């Protein structure tokens, strides 16, 4: 019989116990290496992201432009209905809702796919050695490609309603970068926790829709009587503002920048701590 209930650390028999994994200093370095090596493998994750996306539209005539088309349909239908319901002039409301939807889509996909970022790649993770972060880099890149397809809907709306945001629009680029930094840690953290606790993806899934309505996307904060706390402390609102405001020709509020930078720092600190501690376990968990 080989089943023992001895108190840990259970020695393997030889008497000298090898150092336990996950508690050594080198875990810190390994986590750093994983992220750095992962970033260096851009050819690999670039390829994965493209192929993955293309495979979803294989044998379809217009291919990835279905993304653009379905975003356009969503924006037109909902934009027309809600501008009427809310009594907002279309020229203002249509670009607002278009940018809101497009940016929200990026964040939502990162949260949902982030939960599955390691689980979905279990075959690869269990077969081939390599940095785990490549899967997260690939996911972010894939979402940027999707964003690149969707943003044309905004361009179309801007042309139809003759909107010219001016040079302020360039602020959307650093804005998008800040969004990516934040969704990266979110996906990494969610992916890690989800590979251990399989309820997390369901949990996130059930909060996505309420969050969508709670976040100013189809409505705007100035429609509220006074400021609402659930807007001010909603990180998703500030993330969307990073991209939406500049493209509407407004500089995002300083408060939004402070908030986004703060969650980037705190989020990364927490995520990195988790990653140092549990990175090596992911291959076992998936």
101: nearest Cα among 149, 162, 29: 149
- Answer yes or no whether residue 8 interacts with another protein by CB under 8 A: yes
How far apart, in whole angstroms, are the C-alpha atoms of residue 279 and residue 30?
A: 9
Largest CA distance in the chain: 79
CB atoms within 10 A of CB 232: 13
Residues 6+ apart with CB under 8 A from 169: 246, 247, 249
Q: Could you tell me the two tokens for 189? A: 């953290």
- Answer yes or no whether residue 241 interacts with another protein by CB under 8 A: no
Q: Could you tell me the two tokens for 172? A: 């959307």
Judged by beta carbon, residue 203 or residue 230, the one nearer another protein is 203
- Answer yes or no whether residue 13 interacts with another protein by CB under 8 A: yes
Residues recorded for the chain: 286
Residues 78-107 that bind another protein (CB under 8 A): none
- Answer yes or no whether residue 25 interacts with another protein by CB under 8 A: no
- Answer yes or no whether residue 19 interacts with another protein by CB under 8 A: yes
Q: Is the dihedral of CA 51, 179, 155, 80 positive or negative?
A: positive
- Answer yes or no whether residue 123 interacts with another protein by CB under 8 A: yes
DSSP per residue, 186-224? HHHHHHHHHHH-TTHHHHHHHHHHHHHHHSSSSS-GGGS
Task: Choose the stretch contacting another protein; rule: CB under 8 A; options: 19-27, 166-174, 186-194, 223-231.
Answer: 19-27
Q: Could you tell me the two tokens for 161? A: 């309603």
Judged by beta carbon, residue 55 or residue 162, the one nearer another protein is 55
- Answer yes or no whether residue 33 interacts with another protein by CB under 8 A: no
- Answer yes or no whether residue 44 interacts with another protein by CB under 8 A: yes
Judged by beta carbon, residue 48 or residue 140, the one nearer another protein is 48
- Answer yes or no whether residue 127 interacts with another protein by CB under 8 A: yes
How far apart, in whole angstroms, are the C-alpha atoms of residue 102 and residue 79?
A: 13
Judged by beta carbon, residue 197 or residue 213, the one nearer another protein is 197
- Answer yes or no whether residue 226 interacts with another protein by CB under 8 A: no
- Answer yes or no whether residue 51 interacts with another protein by CB under 8 A: yes
Q: For residue 171, what is the DSSP state? A: G
Residues 6+ apart with CB under 8 A from 139: 49, 110, 113, 114, 117, 187
Task: Choose the stretch contacting another protein; rule: CB under 8 A; options: 83-91, 120-128, 140-148, 205-213.
Answer: 120-128
How far apart are CB 13 and another protein at their closest, in Å? 6
How far apart are CB 41 and another protein at their closest, in Å? 8
- Answer yes or no whether residue 274 interacts with another protein by CB under 8 A: no
- Answer yes or no whether residue 199 interacts with another protein by CB under 8 A: no
Q: Given candidates 34, 35, 38, 41, which one binds another protein under the rule CB under 8 A?
A: 41
How far apart, in whole angstroms, are the C-alpha atoms of residue 160 and residue 64?
A: 23
Judged by beta carbon, residue 138 or residue 252, the one nearer another protein is 138
How far apart are CB 111 and another protein at their closest, in Å? 23
Q: Enumerate binding residues for another protein (CB under 8 A).
A: 1-8, 10, 12-14, 16-22, 41, 43-44, 47-48, 51-52, 55, 58, 123-130, 196, 280, 283-284
């Amino acid at each position: 019989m080989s089943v023992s209930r001895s108190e840990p650390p259970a020695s393997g028999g030889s008497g000298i116990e090898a150092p336990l994994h996950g508690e050594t200093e080198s875990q810190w370095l390994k986590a750093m290496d994983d992220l750095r090596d992962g970033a260096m493998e851009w050819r690999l994750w670039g390829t994965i992201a493209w192929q993955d996306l293309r495979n979803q539209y294989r044998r379809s005539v217009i291919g990835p432009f279905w993304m653009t088309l379905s975003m356009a349909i969503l924006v037109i239908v909902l934009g027309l209905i809600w501008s009427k319901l809310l009594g907002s002039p279309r020229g203002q409301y249509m670009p607002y809702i278009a940018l809101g939807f497009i940016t929200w889509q990026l964040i939502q996909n990162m949260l949902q796919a982030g939960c599955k970022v390691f689980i979905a790649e279990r075959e690869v993770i269990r077969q081939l050695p390599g940095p785990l972060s490549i899967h997260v880099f690939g996911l972010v890149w894939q979402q940027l490609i999707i964003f690149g397809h969707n943003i044309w809907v905004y361009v179309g709306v801007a042309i139809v309603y003759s909107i010219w945001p001016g040079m302020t629009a360039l602020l959307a680029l650093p804005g998008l970068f800040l969004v990516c930094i934040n969704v990266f840690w979110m996906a990494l953290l969610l992916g890690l926790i989800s590979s251990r606790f399989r309820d997390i993806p369901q949990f996130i899934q059930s909060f996505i829709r309420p969050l969508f309505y709670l976040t100013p996307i189809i409505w705007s904060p100035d429609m509220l009587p006074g400021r609402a706390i659930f807007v001010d402390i909603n990180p998703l609102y500030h993330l969307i503002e990073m991209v939406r405001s500049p493209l509407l020709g407004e500089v995002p509020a300083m408060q939004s920048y402070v908030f986004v930078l703060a969650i980037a720092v705190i989020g990364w600190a927490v995520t990195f701590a988790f990653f140092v501690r549990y990175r090596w376990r992911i291959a076992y968990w998936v």
